[in-house]
Amino acid sequence: MTTPFDMSLVQRGARLRRTPFFDATQRYGAKGYTVYNHMLFPVRFGDFEEEYWHLIHHVTLWDVAVERQVEITGPDALKLANMLTPRDLSRCAVGQGKYVVITAEDGGIVNDPVLLRLGADHFWLALADSDVLLWARGVALGKGLKVRLCEPDVSPLQVQGPKARPVVEALFGDRVSALRYYHFFETTLDGIPVLVTRTGWTGEVGYEIYLRDGSRGDELWERVMAAGEPHNIRPTGPSDIRRIEAGILNWGADMTLENNVYEVGLERLVDDDKKDDYIGRDALRRIRAAGPRRKLVGVEIGGEPLEMNATKWPVRKEGPLVGQITSAVYSPRLTKNIGYAMLPAESAPAGTRLTVVTPDGDREATVVPMPFIDPEKEIPKT
């Protein structure tokens, strides 16, 4: 449909993997690819703002096969999974998912996957961009656990936007409307094995379709596009604008192995009454008792609409450098520049005035509450 993107700009040789939807993304005119979990990731098909508005008003299809899975099976699967995260997985039913953090022994965040429980001793972790398979294998080896750990042939698509439900219903029927948030079902579509979750990275209505046979990626893609046609579906990259409006964090930018849940506002992912031990428990208790030294907070940044930051921008408070902007973007709905800043705890209260050092000069900024768009008080989508 358009000239394919010149892959030699981001690739040399066969080190980086292509997703099962790669040919489709080329055919539909992906204009940029980044790399995520050693795999090529289409990040845009058009203009970012145009893709944002399409997500807000219609429905979008994303190739997020880069959310590689770690599969945990074997007699000690629950034991290991429960050891990897501060959430209490004894409360996660088969057919249910949870947003979790994987924590290191010092409380650092190794990754923030969606965990799905497929069976009593069968888990998937849909990963952000770090090699959790190596972490989990290292831990299991040291602890002598009886588990099988692998990266299965599983490749998610996201279908996101206010018209996502009729699209996914057209494909999978009535089960879709009954699906609760973070739950899933397993099924087939013309014999293509898939798993359908009600999850996503937007704050909009959204589903993920996990393809379980990489050889059928193109077929599944075209089925979703066909089901979406009456609803004006279009392929896009993930929307940073929308996820920042919703207060969603991006591992690697807004949080890393150097941060803990108390710093980045993910303390809800720690079940304080969890009975089983897990990696990082002692460290997290110490951090909670002492209070985190740093805090990730929402900021509004003044001036003209910003280009999204490509590096972390330094932040000053009354002169001295105190922290960094981790993500910053212009919200066309709020008609403001919004983002996150990692700041010393004492600079974190709402109302704190800051100066942001952007590549194009300094800008004034203010700490504000998050999320920027409260899902309970949705502003008009106009």
Instruction: Tell me which stretch binds a copy of itself (CB under 8 A): 30-38, 192-200, 263-271, 285-293.
Output: 30-38
What residue has token string 């209505």? 205
Least distance to a copy of itself from the beta carbon of 194, Å? 24
Residue 312 as a binder of a copy of itself (CB under 8 A): the answer is: yes
Q: Which is nearer to a copy of itself, 52 or 184 (CB)?
A: 52
Rule CB under 8 A: say whether 143 interacts with a copy of itself: yes
86: how many CB neighbours lie within 10 A of its CB?
23
Q: Kindly tell me which residue out of 49, 53, 99, 131 binds a copy of itself, with binding defined by CB under 8 A.
A: 131
- Does residue 139 interact with a copy of itself by CB under 8 A? yes
Q: What are phi and psi of 380, to 5 degrees?
A: -55, 140
Q: In the complex with a copy of itself, which residue's Cβ is closer, 110 or 270?
A: 110
Peptide bond into 375 cis (omega under 30): no
Give whichever of 5 and 372 is closer to a copy of itself, judged by the CB atom.
5
- Report if residue 18 touches a copy of itself, rule: CB under 8 A: yes
Query: How many CB atoms sit inside 10 A of residue 276's CB?
Result: 13
DSSP run (H or E) holding 43: strand 39-44
- Total of residues contacting a copy of itself (CB under 8 A): 55
CA atoms lying within 13 Å on the CB side of residue 62? 29
Out of 105, 229, 276, 282, which residue is the one contacting a copy of itself (CB under 8 A)? Answer: 105
CB of 32 to a copy of itself, least distance (A): 5
**Considering beta carbons, is residue 134 or 350 the nearer one to a copy of itself?**
134
Residue 43 interacts with a copy of itself (CB under 8 A): yes or no: yes
How many Cβ atoms are within 10 Å of 327's Cβ, its own excluded? 22
CB of 371 to a copy of itself, least distance (A): 17
Q: How far apart are CA 19 and CA 217, in angstroms?
A: 8
Which of 260, 326, 337, 352 touches a copy of itself by CB under 8 A? 326
According to the binding rule CB under 8 A, does residue 50 interact with a copy of itself? no
User: Counting contacts by CB under 8 A, is residue 379 touching a copy of itself?
Assistant: no
Residues 327-356 that bind a copy of itself (CB under 8 A): 327
Q: How far is the CB of 243 from a copy of itself (least distance, A)?
A: 10
Classify strands 60-63 and 234-235 as parallel, antiparallel or unpaired. parallel
Query: Which residue of 1, 3, 15, 290 would you call a contact of a copy of itself, by CB under 8 A?
Result: 15
35, 118, 170, 283: which one contacts a copy of itself (CB under 8 A)?
A: 35
Residue 337 parent element (H or E): strand 336-344
DSSP 326: E
| Cα 39 from Cα 214, distance rounded (Å) | 14
Pick the closest to residue 125 from 144, 101, 105 (CA basis). Answer: 101
Long-range CB pairs of 31-40 (<8 Å, 24+ gap) are 31/5, 32/5, 32/237, 33/5, 33/7, 34/10, 35/10, 36/66, 36/129, 37/66, 37/67, 37/68, 37/127, 37/129, 37/130, 37/131, 39/65, 39/66, 39/68, 40/7, 40/10, 40/11, 40/16, 40/66
Q: Among 63-71, 102-110, 163-171, 265-273, which window interacts with a copy of itself (CB under 8 A)? A: 102-110
| Footprint of a copy of itself on 219-278 (CB under 8 A) | 237, 240, 250-253, 257
Residue of 141, 226, 321, 350 that binds a copy of itself (CB under 8 A): 141
Least spacing, CB of residue 184 vs a copy of itself, in Å: 27
- In whole angstroms, the minimum distance from the beta carbon of 347 to a copy of itself comes to 20
49 three-class SS: helix
For tokens 């398979």, the residue is: 133
Instruction: Give the angle subtended at the CA of 226 by the CAs of 223 and 229, to the nearest 5°.
Output: 150
Binding of a copy of itself by 11 (CB under 8 A): yes
Phi, psi (5° rounding) for residue 32?
-160, 140
The residue from 63, 71, 76, 129 that contacts a copy of itself (CB under 8 A) is: 129
Of the candidates 147, 253, 154, 135, the one whose C-alpha atom is nearest the C-alpha of residue 195 is 154
List residues near a copy of itself by CB under 8 A.
5, 7-16, 18, 31-35, 38, 43-44, 48, 104-105, 110, 129-144, 237, 240, 250-253, 257, 279, 308-312, 326-327
